[in-house]
Amino acid sequence: MIQEKIAVVTGASRGIGKAIALKLASMDMTVIVNYAGSKEKAENVVKEIEEKGGRAEAVQCDVADFAQCQRMIEDVHKRYGSIDVFVNNAGITRDGLVMVMKEEDFDDVIATNLKGTFNCIRFVSRIMMKQRHGKIINMSSVSGVAGNAGQVNYSAAKAGVIGITKSMARELASRNVNVNAIAPGFIETDMTGALSEKVKEQAVSQIPLGRFGKAEEVAELAGFLAGDKSNYITGQVFHIDGGMVI
């Protein structure tokens, strides 16, 4: 009998995180749907997974809080016995030109998007090292690869996620733990849905494939990195951006 895999997806109540949670559940994994404040949305994701015959649980945790991350990860491990896949997806934006950006807008984005990734890896890596297997998938962005005007905080955080990915891949490889990053471009989510039509048109003009990506397309890549067919891949950053960064 093959033991079922346990996957944790942070920020999984909507958008890319939700799509990844659904994808991993379809791969016969039990999925922990993490959320910070959107309890109802997270429970709806769990319900959708269960209606399709999958297994899931909604768990609250603000990834920017070191102690909360420790409690969540240790509690999940205690209840399920393992954590096989961990997706650091939780993220926020506080866009603005640097000359008018508030200090708290910089700090909040760094705390969630960058330190939140560290907080979770800090605790899940110990579990995966001890069990001698695991897949960690960190969500970066094209903004962290090429930069983006008005997103100095977000770009800095997502560039930092790439640094964490490469360093952790080296630290954990000897214990059969793979660490990779995904760098999405413009993806159809609530976040990009809030953009004006003018901004959307400008963005599409920069994309060789001529369209925004879909959350499900990102989820397919995450599913591949979470599965056994990616066992010889670690420390890599996968662009899924329609050709924005070539």
Q: What are phi and psi of 227, to 5 degrees?
A: -95, 180
Residues designated catalytic: 154
What six digits make up the tokens of 24? 């991993």
Whether the Cβ atoms of residue 98 and residue 152 lie closer than 8 Å to each other: yes
Proportion of the chain in helix, strand, coil states, percent, rounded to 5: 50, 20, 30
The answer to whether the CB of 187 falls within 8 A of the CB of 241 is no
List 59's β-bridge partners, or say none.
Answer: 34
Burial class (CB in 10 A: 0-12, 13-18, 19+), 48: middle
